[in-house]
Amino acid sequence: MKRIDWRTSAELVGLAAIVVSLIFVGLELRQSQKIALAAQYQARTEAGREYFYQSLASSYRIDDLAEEIESWEWPGGLLSADDTQWLDEHTPSVAAEATYWAVINLYGFDNYYFQYQSGLLSEEGWLALQSRLRSLLRDDPFARYLIVVTGQNFRESFVLLCKSLLTDMDSK
C-alpha cells in the first residue's frame, strides 16, 4: 500500500513539473512573440524615418510639400503668435523641411510608445520620453498639425495619446 502511495505521489509530482514547465514555455513563447513584434515595428519605423530623411535631401519632395503646406488650413488655437510669426518669416521650403523633421520625430515617439505598450520599455523610461514628446508638441506647430489635423501616419493609440497631452497642456 505504501508503495502505491509513493508511486502515485511521484506521478503527481512529475505531472505538476510537466504542467509548470509547459506554463514556463508558454510564457517564454509569448515574451518572444512580443519582442519579435516590437522588432518588426521598430524596423518599419526606421524604414519610414529613412524615407523622410531622404525626403529632406530631395528638392523635388521639399517643393511638393512646400506647395501643399501653403494650402494647409490651421485650426484655431493650433498656432501661437510665435508660430504665426515664424511661418511669416520663413519660406514654404523651410516649413517643408521643418515638417519632415516633425514626422521623423513623431515616428520615433510612436515607436517608443509602442515599446512601452508592449511592456518592453519601463514606466520610468516612458515618462522621460513622454516629457520630450510634450516639448515637441508644445514647441513644434508642424508636429501639432500632423497629429491634430492629419494623424494618418501614426497609430491611433499614439494619436489619441498626443491629443490627450495637447488637451492637458491647453488646460494648464
Predicted confidence at residue 67, as pLDDT, reads: 92
pTM: 0.78
Quick check: is 22 in a domain? no
Question: Measured between alpha carbons, how far is 33 from 161 in angstroms, rounded to an integer?
Answer: 25
The answer as to whether 121 is a domain residue is yes
Residue 38 predicted with pLDDT over 80: no
**Which of 26-35, 102-111, 118-127, 141-150 bottoms out in mean pLDDT, i.e. has the lowest?**
26-35
Residue 25 included in any domain: no
Whether 51 shows a pLDDT value over 70: the answer reads yes
Q: Which of 39-43, 85-89, 133-137 has the lowest mean pLDDT?
A: 39-43
Residue 27 within any structural domain of the chain = no
54, 79, 127, 28 alpha-carbon torsion, rounded to 10°: -50
Residue 80 placed within a domain: yes
Q: Domain for residue 38, yes or no? A: no
164 within some domain = yes
Number of independent structural domains in the chain: 1
Distance CA(63)–CA(66), nearest Å, equals 5
How many CB atoms within 10 Å of residue 62?
20
Lowest mean pLDDT among 71-75, 98-102, 109-113: 71-75
The pLDDT of residue 3:
59
Give me the helix-helix angle, 123-139 and 156-170, nearest 10°.
70
In a domain, residue 34? The reply is no
Which structural domain, as residue segments, surrounds residue 76?
45-170
